[in-house]
Amino acid sequence: MKHVRIMLAAAGLFVASGTPGSVRAESAVTLYTPPLRASSFHCDAVNAGRKTLQITISIIAGKDGSVLADTGPVPIVLDPATEASGNFGNVDSTLATDGYCEFRVLGTADRSDLRTVLKANLIRTFNEGARTNIPVFLTWALEGR
């Protein structure tokens, strides 16, 4: 009878030790913002959950899906109630491109644990009558899902 209990306990340990690894592998989510045409992109994420998360932020070209900029190969550690940002482009530029933000999150499978936003800026110039090259600063903020 003792041997059966020991074998059951050992089997339980094997099952229990395998569970955290499989849970970690499934605890990931990727969120995206809608695309915008702009000269500068600012991707912001706030950890609204109770767990520490690891996040990588990328700005993706809307034209071909290439990465315009990212926060690097090492994920940012994002404690609860803290923010992380990734930026691309020059707010003073009149050259525009289509782009959107991609947020890869490790440590949760619940999208509601992270709040994301894309803030994009663009300067346009307009010609009006005798006045020429009137600069207008445009800005948008879009929530990611």
Question: Measured between alpha carbons, how far is 89 from 96 in angstroms, rounded to an integer?
Answer: 9
Grouping H, G, I as helix, E, B as strand and the rest as coil, residue 62 is coil
Burial 47-82, CB ≥16 within 10 A → b, else e: bebeeebebbbbbbbeeeeeebbbbeeebbebeeee
List, for residues 25-51, the tens digit of each pLDDT value. 569 999 999 999 998 999 999 999 999
**pLDDT top residue among 31 and 15:** 31
Q: Is residue 76 scored above 80 in pLDDT?
A: yes
**Domain definitions of the chain by residue range:** 30-143
pLDDT of 126 > 60? The answer is: yes
Cβ atoms of 37 and 97 closer than 8 Å: yes
